[in-house]
Amino acid sequence: MAISRTPWVDNRRSGRASAPPRGASGVVFRQPSRAELCGSRATERRPWLRFALPLLIGLAVLAAWWSACAAGAFPAGTVPAPGEVAVAFVQELGSGRLVVHAVASLYRVAWGFVGAVLAAVPLGLVIGRSAMTRAALLPWINFFRSLSPIAWVPFAIVWFGLGDPPAIFIIFLATFFQIVLATAAAAAAVPRVYDRVALDLELTAREVLFQITFPAILPQLVTALRVAIGVAWMVVVAAEMIARESGLGYLILDARSGLRMDLVVVAMITIGAIGIGLDVLFARLARLDRVRWGFER
């Protein structure tokens, strides 16, 4: 079957004429642009806008912030001027302290998050595929999911003392139940026709789980992980404010104690920037061939 991979649009409707080929009937055709195929979105037509627009907003906020500080709009010591923040940022970066705090936070997030993924995905698969397990465990998963991870801080300190373990434990709890639920929902929605194909292929239960159910839920799982890493990053800052002596959360608490609001803003900017970086990283996972199909159908 000869399938044309090049869609054509009738040029008469758009009124443009860009060296078009002529069809047998004399109707003039031209190839639609990528932007037209994507619904004429402005950012598709001008990709540089995706960088320029946020930059413009940032510059506008910076200008407003700088003007307000210069005009003395804030009581002394409540809002640092952009210049003070820039100086503090350079000092913290130069001394290496900012990197040490950021690495400490990322370390805890990595352990807590990876631990949660390793425990939650298999459990979610089982819950999604077994109605009995779902009936038994889902109410409890929902019960614990609705508890704020910060509510566990007293137990985390009592059980694990100070140091990395309580923060890792809090991050684990913050993401574990979310990932279980997302995995279970995705696994329960895997089309039943795949089970029948699996029967024809004589796959074992283990093969069905790893060769059918897991790849079938991968797109939804990647989306769930993207949300969960954002939550983990939010929670580590809160956990470090309470239970740690390093990390970006601790830096905020320590700077506030020393009335260094410029340092508080430095920590906030760093947290936000790393948050964006983590999100971009997980968004890139959606471009992998084994994942992308779920977003292109």
Partner 1 sequence: MTPILELSGVGFDYPGVPVIDGLDLAVAAGELVVCVGPSGCGKSTLLALLGGHLAPTRGTIARRGQSRTIYQDGGLFPWLTVRENIARGLPRGTARAEADRKVADWLAITRLAEFAAAYPHQLSGGMRQRVELARALAAETDILLCDEPFSALDYQARARMRRELVATLADRPRTVVFVTHDIEEAVQLGDRVVVLGERPTRVQRILPLAMPRPRSPAAPGVPEAEQAILEEVGLP
Residues of this chain that interact with partner 1 (CB under 8 A) are 1, 3, 191, 193-197, 199-202, 212, 215-216, 218, 289-290, 293-294, 296-297
206 contacts 170 by C-beta, under 8 angstroms: no
What secondary structure does DSSP assign to 89-149, as a single string?
A: HHHHHHHTHHHHHHHHHHHHHHHHHHHHHHHHHHHHHHHHH-HHHHHHHHHHHHHHHTS-G
Residue of 40, 16, 44 whose CA lies nearest to 28:
16
- C-beta closer to partner 1: residue 167 or 186: 186
Among candidate residues 58, 127, 107, 134, the one with its CA nearest the CA of residue 244: 107
Q: How far is CA 234 from CA 54, 154, 256, 258, in A?
A: 22, 19, 19, 23
Min separation Cβ 229 and partner 1, Å: 22
Nearer to partner 1, 12 or 196 (CB): 196
CB of 88 to partner 1, least distance (A): 48
Report the alpha-carbon distance of residue 1 to residue 185 in Å, rounded. 39
Q: Name the residue with tokens 């210049």.
A: 83
Q: Which is nearer to partner 1, 132 or 158 (CB)?
A: 132
Q: How far is the CB of 291 from partner 1 (least distance, A)?
A: 8
How far apart are CB 296 and partner 1 at their closest, in Å? Answer: 6
- Least separation in angstroms between CB 208 and partner 1: 12
